[in-house]
Each structure stands twice: as structure tokens, then as C-alpha cells.
Amino acid sequence: MGTLYGARIITGMGIGSLSVIGPMSIAEISPKEIRGLLTSWYTVCQGIALTTANFCVLGIIKHIPNSKVQYQIPSAAVSGFMFLCILASFFITESPRWLLMVGRREEAVATMAKLRQLPRDHERITGELIDMEASIAAAHGDFGGKPSLWVVAKETFTVGSNLRRLQQVTICYALAQLSGANSVTSYFIPIMKLLGHASDTQYSIFLSSMYAFSKLWFSLIASFFFIDIIGRRRSLFIGIAFQTISHIYIAVFIKYQQQGQTNAASGQAAIAALFVHAFGYAVGLFILPYVFGGELWPDRIRSFGGAVGQTFHWLFIFAIKQSLPSLLHNTNNWGAFLFFAGWCVLGLIYIYLMVPEIAGLSVEEVDKIFEGSWLNAIKVTRAHRAQTRAFDTVDGVEDAGSETGKRSDNIISIKV
């Protein structure tokens, strides 16, 4: 057992660092138009891993007798996959922002051209690099040269705009756990027993595997059709609303089931409510805290801020998982789901008041959103978007006029 505990600690160190580096690196290199989509694929990969693990466990229980081999096979499979990841890491490019921060501009230009698949002198490449350099120069002028850990920590916890970033990231991570999502995932089989559908172990594990599979597909749908298209705020509203409705139904069902006043149809609807909950979680609080943790921070403190956010994230996961059995016991089971529903309602209020829409903004433009008072971010976002739409309209009119002129010139030249 000591070996297993030691292995889990080492694994946790690796997972913890990857949960910081993964979303942060994706957000840094992504085009602003699809930054949310690409960053959300970090959670899609989590869904692939969770689904694979669940079906692996199901296959082992069905086909392998009870022995050490039952845990040796999944451990070996994970090791093989991580070996492939180590090999793939040699082909990963450095972040252009980091290269600019350490004075390696030529490499930054080459990396940007490679990432965007455009010539080095393309206006898109030039424009993005100019914005990055301006942001880095401004931070350098405000806080000096290469910062120490103390300087970075001080900047994170004392500068108002960074505190606003910190509260948004940490509160979104907290809401993700207080909404009950990870509790449902981790205690899926006991919850199925509460719903009266877990008499057979293999059937319960099969449903757990299908639940993981549904979260994977819902994450895919959210990444393509929600995060960047309808925006972060609306995705959160939709997702949390579905979670709230699901929790309320499950709470009511368990309450009446304890009194013997339910039927088979309502029980099937309770299972469906769990999958509706998975959809809501995937659309909102599963994906977007990772997106925020990667894209909100300025270059200078992005890694530190991301690490602080993930630290709170894992602490919240630990706290909720440890407390759920006690919560279920002390609230007659059904009260726990009303507890989660209440936090979902508070989450909707918080998002409406405090979370600005940053879809389509560059990492440098995000900095402007967090300047000013706590409640000013949404106003600044709306003003910025109105200005952007005005410029787009003017550009569209100019482009249309230019195109009309070209067509007129062509007609004239033909007549001549």
C-alpha cells in the first residue's frame, strides 16, 4: 500500500503541474477568435481520459478474475500513454510571448509564423507581435526587469486588476465544485443507489462509463458551438441553469422515493436528469474555469496566477469529495442536491454581476477589461464591443465601396 500511495503522490505532482501549464500554454498561442475553443480542448482531453478509464475498468471487471492484474493493467496502460506524451513534448514549440519576454524575438517571429501558417512578414503576425511587445514593455516599465517570486506574488495579491482576476478564477473553480458536478462523477454509483438503479455492479459501472462518455461529447459540443460563438457568459448561464433544474428534480425525486411515492418513469427521468446535469456542467463550469485560468492573466504573472487558481481548484475538489458522504447523511440525501442547487443560483447571480464577456478579445485587450472598479468590467466590455462593431461596420462599408469601385473600373475598361 505504501508503494501505491507514493505513486499516487508522484502522479498528483505531475497532474497538478499539467493542469496549470496546459490551459495556460494553449491560451497563449491561440488566435483570439478561437481561443476558447482551443483552450476548452484541454477538458475534452480530460473527458477522453475519463471515458477510457471507465470503460477500461468495466472491461477488467467483466473479463479478468479478482487478482492483482485488475489494477496492474490500467496502471501499465497509463504509463504507456504518458511515454507517448513525453515523446510528443519534444515537438511542442515555445510560447511566442515567453520568447519575447526573454529577448528571443527572432524565435518568437518564427514560432508565430509556424503556429499561424503565415509568412513571417504577414500583417497578422506583425500586429500580434506588436501587441505582445507593447504589453511586455508596459509591464517592464511599471515593475522593472526580471521579477523575483516575491515581486510576482506581490503584484498578484496587491494590484487591484489582478485581484479581480484572482477572484473570478477562484470563485469559478469553487462554483464548479459547489455545483455538485464532481460529486456526481466521483459518487455516481452511490447516487445511482439513491435513485434505486444500482442493484447490479456491472450495470452501475456501465452507466458510470456512459456518464463519462456523455460528458466528453457534451464538452465537444460546447467547445464548437458555445464558448466562442455565444460567449463565455451565456455559456455559463445556460450550463448552470441546466444544473440547477437537474438538482431540484433529483432532490424532489429522492424525497418522494423515501416516502414510496415514485414510479418507474420518474426513476428513469431521475437518471436522465443526471445526464442533463452532465450537459450543463460541460457547457459551463467544467470548461470555462480552465479557459479563464489560462486567458485572464497578464503575461508577467500568468504562470503564478494559473498556479494559484489551480491550487484552490484542487483544494475545492478535495473538500467537496470528503464532505459529500457527511452532507448526504445529514440532509436525508435529498437535501444535498438542494444545497448544490442553491449554490448554482448564487453562481448565476455572481456571473450576471461580476463576470465580463471576453470572447473574441486578444490577451492584451483583456487587460483593459479588468482596470477600474469591481463592477466596471462588464460596462467596459460592452463599450469595447460596441466600438468594435462600429469599426467592423465602417470597414465593411469601405470594403463594399472598394469592391464596387473595382467592379465599376472593370466595366468601364470593358466598354472602352
Q: CA–CA separation, 125 vs 2, rounded Å? A: 52
Q: How far apart are the first and last CA of the chain?
A: 91
**Residue 374 and residue 164: Cα distance in Å, rounded?**
7
* pLDDT score of 138 more than 80: no
What are 189-216's pLDDT values in tens digits? 888 888 877 667 778 888 888 888 998 9
Highest mean pLDDT among 295-304, 325-334, 397-406: 325-334
- Region class of 103: left (phi > 0), else alpha (psi between -120 and 50), else beta: left
Q: What is the pLDDT, as a whole number, of residue 375? A: 65
Per-domain boundaries in the chain: 2-92+159-369
The answer to whether residues 191 and 330 touch, using CB atoms and an 8 Å cutoff, is no
User: Is 415's pLDDT higher than 50?
Assistant: no
Mean pLDDT score of the chain: 82
Looking at residue 229, its pLDDT comes to 86
d(CA 125, CA 93): 16
Q: What pLDDT is recorded for position 299?
A: 76
Q: Which of 226, 209, 174 is nearest to 340 (CA)?
A: 174
**CA-to-CA dists, residue 14 to 7, 18, 86, 151, 308, angstroms:** 11, 6, 12, 26, 16
Q: What's the pLDDT score for residue 142?
A: 59
- Find the length of the chain: 416
Sorting pLDDT into bands at 50, 70 and 90, what band is 392?
Answer: low
CA distance 280 to 176: 11
pLDDT category at 391 given cuts 50, 70, 90 is: low
Segment 93-109 mean pLDDT:
87
- List the CATH code of the domain at 2-92+159-369: 1.20.1250.20
Question: Please, which pLDDT band fits residue 397 given cuts at 50, 70 and 90?
Answer: very low
Query: Residue 240 and residue 222: Cα distance in Å, rounded?
Result: 13
Does the structure show a pLDDT above 60 at 21? yes
Exposed (0-12), middle (13-18) or buried (19+): which is 5, by Cβ within 10 Å?
Answer: exposed
For residues 23 and 19, give the distance between their C-alpha atoms in angstroms, rounded to a whole number: 7
- CA 165 to CA 297: how far, in whole Å? 7
Q: For residues 247 and 249, what is the distance between their CA atoms, to the nearest angstrom?
A: 5
C-alpha distances out from residue 258 to 269, 333, 384, Å: 16, 10, 53
DSSP codes of every residue in 368-413: HHTSS-TT-HHHHHHHHHHHHHHHHHHHHHHHHHHHHHHHHHHHHH
Is 261's pLDDT higher than 70? yes
Burial of residue 136 (CB within 10 Å: 0-12, 13-18, 19+) is: middle
State pLDDT tens for residues 56-89. 888 888 888 887 787 778 878 888 888 888 898 8
pLDDT for the residue numbered 203: 80
Average confidence (pLDDT) over 376-399: 60
Q: Is the pLDDT of residue 20 over 50?
A: yes
pLDDT band of 413, cuts 50, 70, 90: very low
Task: Give the C-alpha separation, 33 to 109, whole Å.
Answer: 20
**Residue 39: count of CB within 10 angstroms of its CB:** 28
| Strand runs labelled E in 152-263 | none
Q: pLDDT tens digits, residue range 228-258? A: 888 888 999 999 999 999 999 999 999 998 8
Q: 248, 311 in Cβ contact below 8 A? A: no
Residue with cell 515567453: 98
Share of the chain above pLDDT 70, in %: 86
What is the chain's percent helix, strand, coil content, to nearest 5? 85, 0, 15
Task: Dump pLDDT digits (tens) for 1-19.
Answer: 777 788 888 888 888 888 8
Whole-structure pTM value: 0.81
Q: What is the pLDDT of residue 384?
A: 64
Using one digit for the tens of pLDDT, what is the confidence trace for 338-368? Answer: 999 999 999 999 998 888 888 777 776 777 7
